[in-house]
Amino acid sequence: MQLRPLEKKDHDKLAGLLNTNLKNIYPFKEAGAEAIEVFLQDNKTVENAQTAGIFEDNILKGAACFGTLPENGKKADFDIILPGDGVILWLVCSDVTAGYELVSHCLSKLPKTVFAFPEFGSLRTLTLFNTGMLPSVFTKEETVFRSSAFNIPAGEEWGPQERCWFRSKVPNNIELLAVPEEFELKREIMEGYRSRLKLFNKGVLIGECNISNLKLFGKTFPGHFYIDWLSVQEKYRSRSFGSKLLLEQCRFAGEKGAVTCILTTHTGQPAHRLYKKLGFIGEGLSRTFCLKQK
Sketch out the chain's domains with CATH numbers: 2-161+287-292 (3.40.630.30), 171-258 (3.40.630.30)
- What pLDDT does 254 receive? 95
How do residues 61-102 score in pLDDT, each as one tens digit? 999 999 999 999 999 999 999 999 999 999 999 999 999 999
Distance CA 154, CA 226 (A): 24
Residue 156 pLDDT class (50, 70, 90 cuts): confident
Say whether pLDDT at 126 is over 90. yes
- What pLDDT does 176 receive? 81
Residue 148 pLDDT class (50, 70, 90 cuts): very high
Q: How far is CA 292 from CA 87, 100, 285, 289, in A?
A: 12, 17, 24, 10
Residue 42 pLDDT class (50, 70, 90 cuts): confident
Residue 77 CA, distance from chain mean position: 11
Residues contacting 41, CB < 8 A, separation 6+: none
* CB contact at 8 A, 117 and 134: yes
How do residues 193-246 score in pLDDT, each as one tens digit? 999 999 999 899 999 999 999 999 999 999 999 999 999 998 888 788 999 999
How do residues 105-123 score in pLDDT, each as one tens digit? 999 999 999 999 999 999 9
Distance CA 60, CA 140 (A): 15
Helices (H), ranges, 77-232: 96-109, 139-147
- What pLDDT does 45 receive? 87
Residue 155 pLDDT class (50, 70, 90 cuts): confident
Highest mean pLDDT among 40-54, 126-140, 259-273: 126-140
Distance CA 248, CA 250 (A): 5
